[in-house]
Amino acid sequence: MMGSGAGRFTMTDEGESVGLWLIGLGPGDLGLMTRSATEAARSCDKRYLEGYTAVLPANQEAALEGVVGSWERLMRPSIESPSVLMEEARVSAVALMVVGDPLQATTHVDLETWCSESGVKFHVEPGISATSLAVSASGLQSYRFGRQVTIPYRYGEYLPTSPLEMIEGNLSRGLHTLVLLDLDPSGMGVDRPTPMKPKEAVSLIESMAEKCVEEEVGGIFTESSIREWDGFLLSDLGTDSQRVLSGSLGELSNAEGGLVHTLIIPANMSDNEKESFERRRPHR
């Protein structure tokens, strides 16, 4: 996908075309980065790694310079208010490298608008998304997934119930839910990510259910039922450490290890999906 009428990337004697190059690194293993994305990043004049919407494993981050060249990290303020980025991209080729597929996050979609309004050329090199890998790795049918949700950290006393209400809406329509776990306890996007652990996520979902019961929101939540729900835990997708487990949310909350985790809460499963679920249970 290319923006602003730009042609597809080709190497020239003059180097890369000026503008902002939004480049997908893939899910976490640089070996899964496309050749086109690698070439585009290498030939840019400057490279930034977006450092708050996703996490690149430490060993892959250490290897990144050897793959694409020198780089700097950019955090949320510099991307959501990208005036400096726009000025650089107006006169040179600037790569913003993103773990996964770069247009999966609204923040990155907004950059195309910034470029359009600033007269800056905009280019996209897509990458493999961990969200699509999660669906494949679970063995569930992709067409049976509803709206995905994110479980946020609790900010002070505030805990939204909307993620659980969306899960309930999916379940009521017979749709599975892909559940992303928050990476930023501060909510500010200025510190290195701290990926939420499965135990924290399940505890927060329980707290949401308790709040829903107190406020008489939704119809399927009880304090004791959440931990009994079936689920999949998908850890470090697209890396050498990838792990996929199934079981009750209570069982999955006790899983140790891993860096970045995703949950899937399935609706009523077909026979084939139930078999996939059972195959992913840990050996007892």
Sheet holding 243-248, edge to edge: 149-151, 177-181, 261-265, 230-235, 243-248
3-state secondary structure of 181: strand
Quote the CA–CA distance of 121 and 238 in Å, as a whole number.
31
Domain 131-279 fold:
3.30.950
When mean pLDDT is compared across 91-95, 130-134, 190-194, the lowest value belongs to 190-194
In terms of Cα–Cα distance, which of 148, 143, 118 is closest to 131? 148
What's the rounded mean pLDDT across residues 62-67?
97
pLDDT per position as a tens digit, 238-250: 999 999 999 999 9
- Identify the pLDDT of residue 7: 39
Backbone angles phi, psi at 104, to 5 degrees: -75, -20
Q: In whole numbers, what is the pLDDT of the chain averaged over residues?
A: 90
- Identify the pLDDT of residue 218: 66
Identical fold for domains 19-128 and 131-279, yes or no, is no
Quote the CA–CA distance of 246 and 263 in Å, as a whole number.
10
pLDDT per position as a tens digit, 210-262: 888 888 776 666 645 899 999 999 999 999 999 999 999 999 999 999 999 99
- Identify the pLDDT of residue 192: 83
Split at pLDDT 50, 70, 90, the class of 9 is: very low
- Identify the pLDDT of residue 185: 86
What's the rounded mean pLDDT across residues 36-46?
96
Q: What is the CATH number of domain 19-128?
A: 3.40.1010.10
Question: Are residues 138 and 105 in contact, defined by beta-carbon separation less than 8 angstroms?
Answer: no
Split at pLDDT 50, 70, 90, the class of 186 is: confident
What are the C-alpha distances in Å from 103 to residues 119, 129, 200, 241?
A: 20, 10, 28, 25
User: What pTM, to 2 d.p., does this model score?
Assistant: 0.88
**Where along the chain do its domains lie?**
19-128, 131-279
What are the C-alpha distances in Å from 51 to residues 14, 64, 98, 217?
A: 30, 13, 8, 36
